Structure 1
Amino acid sequence: MGQTRHDYPGLAGRGALSNAAGRFEPYTHDAPLPDRLPTEVRDETIGRVISTNKSPDLGFDRSINPYRGCEHGCIYCFARPTHAWLGLSPGLDFETRLIARPGAAAALRRELGARSYVPRMIAIGTNTDPYQPIERDRGIMRSLLEVLRDHRHPVGITTKGTMVERDIDILAEMGPELCRVGLSVTTLDADLARRLEPRVPTPARRLRAIETLAKAGVQVRVMVSPVIPGLTDHEVEGVLRAAADAGAVAASMIPLRLPLEVAPLFEEWLRSHVPDRARKVLGRIREFHGGKLYDAGFGQRMRGRGVHADLLQQRFVRACRETGLEQRLPPLRCDLFRVPGSQMSLF
């Protein structure tokens, strides 16, 4: 069922302004939305938790997502279309109707113990954020980290959530050989961040989290992602400088991606929040993607193309060099892995 709120400014603490049905639903129904939508969480029973991919654009071939949907509510989130597979809307349903996977740690331990398992870095947070607000009560991410620590398995974490500080004891114990954190800072403008990412900690708070992690010996990569052409692209140098001052040791950047249902949701947000800039932003995004709002082709989707995309890359490289963030960190170690159930895993 699709729902639309016609009297913006929208729902308090939510990013999407509508709840249109996903692409697999045969029927739509237009109905007014309430003033507030509570967060609903359902549990999912799983047999396996590690997902694999063969994408040439990604630096990992396996990942784990403790949750489906994300309460952070980032309007630009490329993971929103995954909710359509559940018969839910990539709009407000993605932010308010969440799926938790409480059996994730047990499933992970079983998979690591399989005879055929070959250890490689597991990425966590590549789809939805493992440190979104419901993690405070559920603790699924921490339970996963405990398994990875116990068996000395490498992990790369991607998050906007400062709750990662809670797990510093585990991350510091794993050390730079087994663990790395990527923390996303999209903009330094607190008001813009609140509208783009309504339930994400403020930019200043995320910079403090980088500092806290760095002081504990945890390697942190700042992710200037996504860069929104015509809206946040002028901040790239400032974000990198602030992150380097906080203790980040490396950086990455990805321009905005608008796959499937994300494009109309983001366009709706632009015309409501920054109507004077919507035309420029949409035009610049099309320049990045060959005249379309999104090009899913490998090799292009993470960089964009054209003059402005090339200039953005050049600025990023230069700023990384000037701030000391240009280094490529060495791969995490896989040779320290201890198979669950083996004698070595007891020590």
Structure 2
Amino acid sequence: METAQLQREIREFAVSAGIDKIGFTTADPFLEMKNRLRRQQESGFQSGFEKGTPDERTDPSMLMDRPESIIAIAVAYPSKMDNPPKGKKGGRRGMFCRASWGQDYHDVLREKLALLESFILERCPGARLKSMVDTGELVDRAVAERAGIGWSGKNCSIITPEFGSYVYLGEMITNIPFAPDEPIEDGCGDCTLCLDICPTGALIEGGRLNAQRCIAFLTQTKGSLPEEFRTEIGNRVYGCDTCQTICPKNKGRHNRFHAAFEPEPELAKPLLTPLLSLSNREFKERFGHMSGSWRGKNPIQRNAIYALGHFREEAAVPELVRILREDARPYMRGAAAYALGKIASDEAITALGHAETAETDAEALEEIRAAIRNIEDMQKEVPK
């Protein structure tokens, strides 16, 4: 089959496979991205979740012998939910970011890429194909940008004219020499809203992110968080959408196209206090199908504790006291102490006093003492 005809048929098939946008580019190295990755490494701005070296992440020939082309795909996801549950005093709620709504997008996009692979192999049995979604070596954004899916926004997301930045990305390296698509012209212009609103200043400049300060990254880390980030997380238990929701290119983009990504309101905005008592099995049964579960329950529970402190949720004090007294994880005891120090009720103060004499872990003990100092400082500020 002629390559041009196959390329046309692939575009048509992509629509029936539920792929919202498809583009083609060469398998040439992504030299500009390689330089960016090296600068990120040198500056200490990487998250640590990246797979592969800068060479592997930008040179397709290191991932496949004699590659000719890369097929890039985008699948849109929703930004709105119907009748979202409302948090209230005594029933505060957390938030999973939109990219974690519904079924894990890695699974969904892998299925779509597998369909695309089967379609190509039926027509071109000798084709060599290598697909990846997010966790592969190649930088998805670099591939999508060069394949004409969208432009790389100042918020470090690919922004498409059709769906805004609410898209998941995947790609397939192949030895078939498809004609490349043209990249899309940058559409951000002089807008700096995403840089201006970033809660932690993680967006250093347009298109450059210090992942170590990014809330989306911080909510996925394990252990305790530096105090400067705890109040900025607010009630986010996984991820952050701030630089997307502020983007003018996302205005009116709801993208309700795929049942798999429809949010389950009680999971997308879960009650915070019940999260704290979930076992590993219960957490996996309830949240395991969501991409936000990939790091397990520990970061989610820690973030929920910080959120309860953010809300100064007195109704959560008994559960926080239980964690302070009984939890085997020192950083969770420390997080509970921090939250109790913010709530500062009589029960919280009493529990912190008892914990100060019982705690044996140095870091948890410092958290307890810092919480007690915080309460003392608040009491000094109250007019007599």
Larger Rg: 2
> Hey, which of these two has a bigger chunk of helix by percent?
2
Task: Name which structure has the greater RCO, CA cutoff 8 Å, separation 6+.
Answer: 2
TM-score (norm 1): 0.26
TM-score (norm 2): 0.24
